[in-house]
């Protein structure tokens, strides 16, 4: 039975958004060929909850919105908040800055369009910019697959001290001859 409890614990831990009783039961049956009733499953989950009530654990098992999930105990929230603040203060990478510039000048823009301009994947950069709230999802494009459109956020405007996109420097004012691509002087 201990192995079943550990599998339940692993299933709940691996679920990012929490997992309901029916899904846990289904995974146990399909992936591990373990048959348990809903009542047995509740009792096993109760044992996991009891285990995590102990002070030596920083996590607790909670039942929220009809799903089980592991959360950090409230006593550690201040430390976690400090970590999140520290992570948010970290500087943006060069690729994130390039991605941000493309979004600022070409908004609204899809991830595919950004990648076509940069020539490399921009998934990580877009995720970091969303986390820092410098960009926002501005809707969906009217193309196949309805990809998300990205635009700069109010926090971007506040951070750079501008009132709107029209306050950004003109590209012709900041691009040097050495950096001009495909432009010729006639």
Instruction: Count Cβ atoms below 10 Å from residue 181 Cβ, excluding itself.
Output: 5
Write out the E strands in 26-174: 59-64, 67-72, 109-110, 135-140, 148-152
Question: What are the angstrom distances between the C-alpha of 172 and each of 2, 169, 178, 183, 186?
Answer: 68, 8, 13, 11, 16
Least confident of 15-29, 58-72, 152-166: 152-166
- Residue 58 has a pLDDT of 94
- Residue 16 has a pLDDT of 78
Going along the chain from its start, the domains and CATH numbers come out as 2-76 (1.10.10.10), 91-177 (1.10.10.10)
Exposed e or buried b per residue across 23-32, where buried means at least 16 C-beta atoms within 10 angstroms of its C-beta: ebbebbeeee
pLDDT in tens, 66-121: 999 999 998 998 998 888 777 666 678 899 999 999 999 999 999 999 999 999 99
**Secondary structure of 138-171 in the HEC alphabet?**
EEECCCCCCCEEEEECHHHHHHHCCCCHHHCCCH
Question: What is the token pair recorded at 106?
Answer: 């070409």
Q: Round to whole Å and give the CA distance between 153 and 45.
A: 42
């Amino acid at each position: 039975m201990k192995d079943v409890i550990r599998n339940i614990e692993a299933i709940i831990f691996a679920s990012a958004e929490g997992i309901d009783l029916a899904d846990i039961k289904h995974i146990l049956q399909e992936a591990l060929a373990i048959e348990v009733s809903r009542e047995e499953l509740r009792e096993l989950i109760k044992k996991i909850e009891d285990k995590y009530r102990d002070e030596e654990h920083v996590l607790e098992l909670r039942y929220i919105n009809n799903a089980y999930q592991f959360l950090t105990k409230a006593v550690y929230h201040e430390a976690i908040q400090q970590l999140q603040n520290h992570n948010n203060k970290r500087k943006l990478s060069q690729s994130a800055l390039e991605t941000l510039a493309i979004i600022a000048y070409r908004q609204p823009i899809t991830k595919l369009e950004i990648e076509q301009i940069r020539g490399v994947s921009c998934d990580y950069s877009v995720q970091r910019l969303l986390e820092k709230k410098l960009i926002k999802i501005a809707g969906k494009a009217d193309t196949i697959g309805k990809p998300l459109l990205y635009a700069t956020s109010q926090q971007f405007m506040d951070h750079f001290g501008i009132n709107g996109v029209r306050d950004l420097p003109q590209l012709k004012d900041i691009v040097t001859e050495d950096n001009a691509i495909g432009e010729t002087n006639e």
